[in-house]
Amino acid sequence: MKKRHVLLLALLVFVTTSTIAIIVVFPAARVGQTAVLLSSDTPVSAPAAPEAQTEPAPADHAGGSCVFNTVFRKVPADSLLFVCEVPANVDKGIREALSWIVRAQHEDGGWGAGTHAYQSENNPHAVPSDAATTSMVGLALLRCGNSPQEGTYAEQLNKAAVYLLGVVEETAAGAANIGHAEGTQPQVKLGQNIDVVLTSQFLTNLLAYYEEGDARHTRTKKCVEKCVRMIERNTGENGSVSGGSWAGVLQSSFAVNALQSARDVGVSVEAPVLEKAEDYQMKAINIEDQSVRTDDAAGVVLYSVTSTARSSARDAREAKIALKKAKEEGKLKEGEKVNTENLMKAGYSETEALKLNTAYQVNEAATTQSLKGEVMSGFGNNGGEEFLSFLQTGEGMIMSHSSEWKNWYSQTCGMLLDIQNDDGSWNGHHCITSPVFCTATCLLVLGVANDAETLAWSGGQSGND
Show the CA angle centred on residue 22, arms to residues 16 and 26, nearest 5°.
Answer: 150
Output helix, strand, coil percentages for the chain, rounded to the nearest 5. Answer: 50, 5, 45
Residues 6+ apart with CB under 8 A from 109: 129, 134, 159, 160, 161, 162, 163
Which tens digit of pLDDT belongs to each residue from 266-313?
999 999 999 999 999 988 878 787 788 787 676 778 888 888 888 999
59 has pLDDT over 50 = no
**What is the percentage of the chain residues whose pLDDT exceeds 90?**
54
Report the distance separating Cα 81 and Cα 64, nearest Å: 9
Give the model's pLDDT for residue 335. 93
pTM of the model: 0.81
Q: Which of 83-87, 231-235, 250-254, 398-402 has the least mean pLDDT? A: 83-87
Give the model's pLDDT for residue 377. 60
Give the model's pLDDT for residue 8. 37
Report which of 148, 128, 285 is spatially closest to residue 206, judged by C-alpha positions: 148
Report which of 383, 291, 399, 310 is spatially closest to residue 10, judged by C-alpha positions: 399
89 has pLDDT over 60 = yes
CATH class in words for 13-280+387-395+402-456: mainly alpha
DSSP 3-state of 191: strand
Judge whether 277 and 255 are in contact, CB under 8 Å: yes
